[in-house]
Structure 1
Amino acid sequence: MAFTQLLMIFLGGGLGATARFSLSTFVNSKTANPDSINFPWGIFACNLIGCLLIGSSYGWLKSHHPEWIHPLFVTGLFGGFTTFSSFTLDTQILLQNQAYLSAGLYSIGTLLLGLLLCVIGYQVTSQF
């Protein structure tokens, strides 16, 4: 792998992870309920937004990009913005707290809505 590609992944990943932290912290601060187990709205929002953005950028970049842009956006920025590990940890915490319905809705919602948004983003932008 070329140094330029690694640099683009590094830069995009740092920006994506910072954006994920900022957005999830903001969303969680607006949705927190001190009287109950909180649904992980922050990571849920990041993963769904990220699925739409990664599908959209992949569809558009597939035919409209210099070589270095794909690693910057798809692998770096949107790969760093979304997070499977936080998703699975949030699910495990919900299960540990016996919030089975929330765990199920979170898991199924993330997977199905994420896939749907990725497909929609790709279909819309790959036409251009």
Structure 2
Amino acid sequence: MNPYLQVAIGAAIGSMCRLAFYRLLPAPWVAMGGATLAVNVIGSFVMGLGFALIGQRITPNFAPFLLAGVLGGFTTFSSFSLDVVAMWERGEAIAAMVYIAASVVLSLLALIAGLAVARSVLT
């Protein structure tokens, strides 16, 4: 199957799983970020499992569907976590730390910028 189609189908499944997970939790827990933290941690754990198993036991043909698709739809944090660990295992500790800092800071700045643009258009 075309890898782009695999990712699209997997992302739809992952996104629906995220919504279902959020709806299972109490609203105050979701509001304080607990659901997002949970899906990020769960997704990172499953990314580690999936990445290892695909290399060892499962055909790599399922990687786009499972890793980029399902887990990417469930949480993009799992891909970030995999990148950091891969850098660390390659002995690129400084690059990993810079990547972590840049990802967090730039993502927060981008969110603030997006809020500002949207608010300026809406008001």
The normalised TM-score by structure 1 is 0.54
Deviations 1:65-123 (A, max 9, x none): 33420001011001110145xx967xx79xxxxxxxxxxxxxxxxxxxxxxxxxxxxxx
Counterpart among 33, 44, 49 of residue 51 in structure 1: 44
CA contact (8 A) 2:54 2:60 kept: no
Identical-residue share of aligned pairs (%) = 23
* Amino acid corresponding to residue 65 of structure 1 in structure 2: I
8 Å Cα contact 1:24/1:41 also seen in 2 = no
CA distance in 2, matches of 1:15, 1:6: 14
Alignment correspondent of 1:62: 55
Q: For residues 68 and 79 of structure 1, what CA distance do their matches in structure 2 show?
A: 16
- 1:32 corresponds to which of 5, 28, 40: 28
Count residues with an aligned counterpart.
81
Distance in 2 separating the partners of 1:24 and 1:83 = 16
Rounded to whole Å, the distance in 2 between the matches of 1:61 and 1:12 is 16
Partner of 1:115: none
Structure 1 unpaired stretches of 5+: 94-128
Q: Which has the higher contact order (CA 8 A, sep 6+)?
A: 1
| Aligned CA-pair RMSD | 2.5
In the alignment, is the contact (CA less than 8 A) between 1:25 and 1:42 conserved in 2? no
Whose helix proportion is higher, 1 or 2? 2
CA contact (8 A) 2:14 2:69 kept: yes
- The structure 2 residue matched to 1:74, chosen from 61, 67, 71, is 67
CA drift of 1:31 comes to: 5.1
CA distance in 2, matches of 1:26, 1:51: 20
Runs (4 or more) in structure 1 with deviation over 6 Å come to none
| Residues in 2 aligned to 1:56 and 1:16: alpha-carbon distance in whole angstroms | 16
Letter in 1 for 2:58: H
TM-score (norm 2): 0.56
2:34 aligns with: 41
CA distance in structure 2 between the partners assigned to 1:50 and 1:11 by the alignment: 17
Structure 2: tracts of 5 or more residues without a match? 78-103, 113-123
SS of 2:2's partner is helix
Counterpart of 2:15 (choices 14, 17, 22) is 17
